[in-house]
Amino acid sequence: MAATGGTNPMAKAPKASAARKPPEPSDSHAEIEDLIDRRVMPELHPIVKRLDESIRETTPGLQYAVKWRRAYYGLRELGWIIEMVAYDVSVNVVFFGGAQFDPPPPLGTTGRTRYVKVYTLEEAQSPELHEWIKQAGRVPGWQ
């Protein structure tokens, strides 16, 4: 899918987030660890742990936040680049600049945000997801 509205790095945040204030960043990962340990369904715990590890291993210099029971990963120069939220049967990994990826994640059709639903540990470890995480560290996110 092609991005709409050009490639302006100062483009507005995705519509879903437009009315929300971005979370306050922290250099500490502790709040995300607490979210994973206390709020994630036991069946999804290995998936969320692996996704969290992959994001941290792939993208140096991250800042972290938890807001609305969602984990946020960001970079000072790019803003929030990834949001992860665990539901009952899947984990959504949202890429705030995902429309600019090659290829973009399959879900989401408006604005710059694209996402993927992860149901299994195998999906969490897929090369395609790893590549999207790498690309997230190179495009502007939600600021």
Q: How far apart are CA 34 and CA 88, in angstroms?
A: 18
Per-residue confidence (pLDDT) for residue 20, from 0 to 100: 77
* Residue 122 reports pLDDT greater than 80: yes
Per-residue confidence (pLDDT) for residue 18, from 0 to 100: 55
What is the pairing mode between strands 63-67 and 70-75?
antiparallel
Q: How far apart are CA 135 and CA 143, in angstroms?
A: 17
CB atoms within 10 A of CB 130: 15
**What top-level class would CATH report for the domain 25-136?**
alpha beta
Q: What is the pTM of this model?
A: 0.85
Tokens of 64: 């972290």
* Residue 29 reports pLDDT greater than 60: yes
Q: Comparing 16 with 108, which gets the higher pLDDT?
A: 108
Per-residue confidence (pLDDT) for residue 82, from 0 to 100: 98
51-55: average pLDDT: 98
User: What percentage of the chain carries pLDDT values higher than 90?
Assistant: 83
Q: How far apart are CA 54 and CA 40, in angstroms?
A: 17
